[in-house]
């Protein structure tokens, strides 16, 4: 089955797993999904990522991070939102890069130097497509 927007599907699976309090979520592997997951893990929104299988059966397993404060587990990810869609691409230069949630969140940006956070893109003075917002 072909997917129109695999990034939006990835974000929906993560949101659903958080809502159901799952510890991990499995997705079909792609290099872009892996790059986004690596950025989220480096920024502390995910515990870890694993790649299993070979060839077209490769899977990306994301371990969701929960804060252990009180008797109930609170997810570290409060919200995920797709910014650039197949129907409306959103691009930004380094100087005009928006800030997510007043600096408490971040944007994931696809640049010529690879997938990175909005802070890294500003520091390296490179613009690109704003893929998603997380807070």
The pLDDT of residue 80: 95
Cα-to-chain-centroid distance, residue 70: 27
Domain 6-134 matching CATH 3.40.50.300: the answer reads no
pLDDT in tens, 45-90: 999 999 999 999 999 999 999 988 766 789 999 999 999 999 999 9
Q: What is the mean pLDDT of residues 105-125?
A: 96
Q: What is the dihedral of CA 81, 85, 89, 91, to 10 degrees?
A: 20
The pLDDT of residue 10: 96
Where are the domains positioned within the chain? 6-134
- Predicted confidence band at 100 (pLDDT cuts at 50, 70, 90)? confident
CA distance 132 to 55: 27
């Amino acid at each position: 089955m072909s997917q129109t927007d695999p990034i939006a599907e990835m974000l929906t699976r993560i949101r659903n797993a958080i809502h159901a309090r799952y510890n991990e979520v499995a997705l079909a592997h792609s290099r872009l999904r892996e790059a986004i997951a690596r950025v989220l893990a480096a920024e502390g929104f995910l515990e870890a990522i694993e790649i299993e299988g070979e060839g077209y059966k490769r899977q990306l397993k994301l371990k969701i991070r929960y804060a252990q404060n009180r008797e109930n587990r609170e997810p570290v990810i409060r919200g995920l939102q797709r910014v650039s869609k197949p129907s409306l691409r959103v691009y930004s230069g380094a100087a005009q890069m928006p800030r997510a949630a007043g600096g408490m969140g971040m944007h994931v940006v696809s640049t010529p130097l690879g997938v990175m956070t909005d802070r890294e893109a500003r520091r390296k003075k490179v613009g690109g497509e704003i893929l998603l917002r997380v807070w």
